[in-house]
Amino acid sequence: MTTNVENHLKDSRTDELSFQKIKKFTPDIIARFQKMVYSYYREYGRTFPWRETTNPYHILVSEAMLQQTQTERVVQKYHQFITTFPDFCSLARAPLQKILEVWHGLGYNRRAMNLKRTAEIIVTQYHGVLPSDFEVLQTFPGIGKATAG
């Protein structure tokens, strides 16, 4: 038996309003929705350097930069920041003034200060390796549930 939900998912013109009518999301419906999203991303998605890396430090830097900052601004600063401070150790050792100079243009300097404090903790308590534990990550300055997840 074909449900309205399945009909909506088969329709290539499906929009978000169609999904408001769905009463129950079955695993099959979720899988089909995921397929639609991935398909859309393959066709229209933008490429960013932080999506091309598995380096936890690079990803954490991008997460901090992207908080309340337009993506285009982050793209302009990301490589400079990573080149200047390539890992947690270099960021932890750097003078705050130098970090803020490189950060300039992104706004919300507290994020840069939190990144430095986080790097110091990771270097001194975790030997320069970012823990993967969700609860531990949330204890670092400036890292909440969204960034830790």
Q: What are the chain's domains?
A: 4-44 (no CATH), 49-148 (1.10.340.30)
Residue 139 has pLDDT above 50, yes or no: yes
Say what the pTM is: 0.75
Q: Please state the three-class secondary structure of 60-101 as a single string.
A: HHHHHHHCCCCHHHHHHHHHHHHHHCCCHHHHHHCCHHHHHH
Return the amino acid letter for 61.
V
Residue 97 has pLDDT above 70, yes or no: yes
Return the amino acid letter for 87.
D
Any idea what the Cα angle at residue 18 is, between residues 16 and 23, rounded to 5°? 110
Identify the active-site residue in 6, 63, 72, 101: 63
Q: Give the mean model confidence (pLDDT) for residues 91-120.
A: 97
- Comparing 70-79, 84-93, 110-119, the range with the smallest average pLDDT is 70-79
Give tens-digit pLDDT for 19-29: 667 778 888 88
Predicted local distance difference test score (pLDDT) of residue 7:
53
CA–CA distance, 34 with 138 (Å, rounded to integer)? 28
CA–CA distance, 8 with 43 (Å, rounded to integer)? 20
Report residue 13's pLDDT band, with 50, 70 and 90 as the boundaries.
low
Active-site residue flag, 101: no
